[in-house]
Chain A
Amino acid sequence: GAVVSQHPSWVICKSGTSVKIECRSLDFQATTMFWYRQFPKQSLMLMATSNEGSKATYEQGVEKDKFLINHASLTLSTLTVTSAHPEDSSFYICSAPSRAGTGELFFGEGSRLTVL
């Protein structure tokens, strides 16, 4: 089946630095990718929808200047957390919709960010 790979799985950074998370579709082209944030024991919260070749669409309440999303190619979307703060510590998951018309989402492994 289709595979989405996310990197890094774990990242620890100092407050004030920026961190980049990559999401790749390995065996299919993804014109759209979704970025989620998940707090412990909670559901996935959609942050933004990245679109290849155009600006990402952010959900209400998500700071677009803090969470920079770039979808430079049909197989790669990146999320950059800028000037990270401890409250940005969370689990971030990317996903891409199936292009086979099944409505299914394929998920990356997720990235755990800890900001010290």
Chain B
Amino acid sequence: AQTVTQSQPEMSVQEAETVTLSCTYDTSESDYYLFWYKQPPSRQMILVIRQEAYKQQNATENRFSVNFQKAAKSFSLKISDSQLGDAAMYFCAYSHITGNQFYFGTGTSLTVIP
């Protein structure tokens, strides 16, 4: 089975600064999807960013960008100009290409310091 590893249980960042959350995964598949989901205190899961494995270009969504290293099976999330509202639990996730198998990392709790 695929595994997703987030080695940073907790991270903190000063408001307006940049922070990078790490994620590695293990798979024998060549095509798949990777995601970062955010879970704020409300506990609603919110999609932050999505990457298709066959695309070499790193995905970007406003202040959020990823560094996707397919050979290294690494998928880190960079948050630029951090805002107080970015404080949340962040989950890295892997999806089989069919979308019927989904695997979550253990999560990274991000604190934003005013």
Contacts and interface: CB of A to CB of B under 8 A. Distances in A.
Interface of A: 32, 34, 38, 41-44, 46, 49, 91, 93, 95, 97-98, 101-105, 107, 109-110
B99 interface: yes
21 contacts: A32-B100, A38-B43, A43-B91, A43-B105, A43-B106, A43-B107, A44-B91, A44-B104, A91-B43, A97-B100, A98-B99, A102-B33, A103-B32, A103-B33, A103-B52, A103-B95, A103-B97, A103-B99, A104-B50, A105-B45, A105-B99
B106 A42 contact: yes
Nearest to A110: B43
Nearest to B32: A103
B99 A101 contact: yes
Contacts, number: 58
Tell me if A's interface is mostly helix, strand, loop or mixed: strand
- List 8 A-B pairs, minimum CB-CB distance, nearest first: A103-B33, A107-B45, A103-B95, A97-B99, A103-B99, A43-B106, A43-B104, A110-B43
Size category, B interface? 20 to 34
B39 to A, nearest CB: 9
B35 interface: yes
Nearest to B6: A43
B109 interface: yes
A46 B42 CA distance: 20
Nearest to B9: A41
Interface in B21-42: 32-33, 35, 42
Contacts of A110: 43-44
